[in-house]
Amino acid sequence: MDKTVTGLSRTGTGNLCPPGTFRDQQGFTLFEVLIALGVFAIAVTGLVWALQSAIEASLSARERLFARTALESRLASAMANPPLDGKREIDGRTNNGLSVVEIFEPAEIQNTNGEVLPGLWRLRVTTSNGRTKAEESAEILVFRP
């Protein structure tokens, strides 16, 4: 019973429509577009979260590297000029946000006979970042007769 009239075709609803009209075209429904937008939003949210995590990890690594470099520099400086009163503190506000504590104390190291070795001092340098509370520490023995 499907009859074709010149240039017209019968659709399932019984209407005659010219070819190329809305009923013959394939397209996306509103529901499909909303689902696609939801999937896209979830993917973008995941990418933003991953990017934020990468930035925080990079910043943390940079701060640790800065603290480690400052620690090595202060340790070398303190070896050449140790704090004579036993302790030296450098405030973070005057040192690029990095607080430094240098402690110079006698080392109680004994030889195989149980006698304390004279002239050995322990130099301990600790740096801490006031913003992240990251702390690095190093110590070395110095011989000062």
Q: How far is CA 118 from CA 4, 105, 111, 123, 136, in A?
A: 114, 12, 10, 15, 29
Average pLDDT over residues 72-78: 87
Q: How would residue 80 be classed by pLDDT, with cut points 50, 70 and 90?
A: confident
* Residues 113-145 pLDDT 10s: 988 889 888 999 988 887 777 788 999 998 887
Task: Tell me what percent of the residues of the chain surpass a pLDDT of 70.
Answer: 81
Burial class (CB in 10 A: 0-12, 13-18, 19+), 129: buried
What's the whole-model pTM score? 0.58
* Residues 46-58 pLDDT 10s: 999 999 999 999 9
Beta strands (DSSP E) in the chain are: 9-10, 16-17, 87-90, 98-106, 120-129, 135-143
Higher pLDDT, 17 or 55: 55
Are the beta carbons of 144 and 123 closer than 8 angstroms? Answer: no
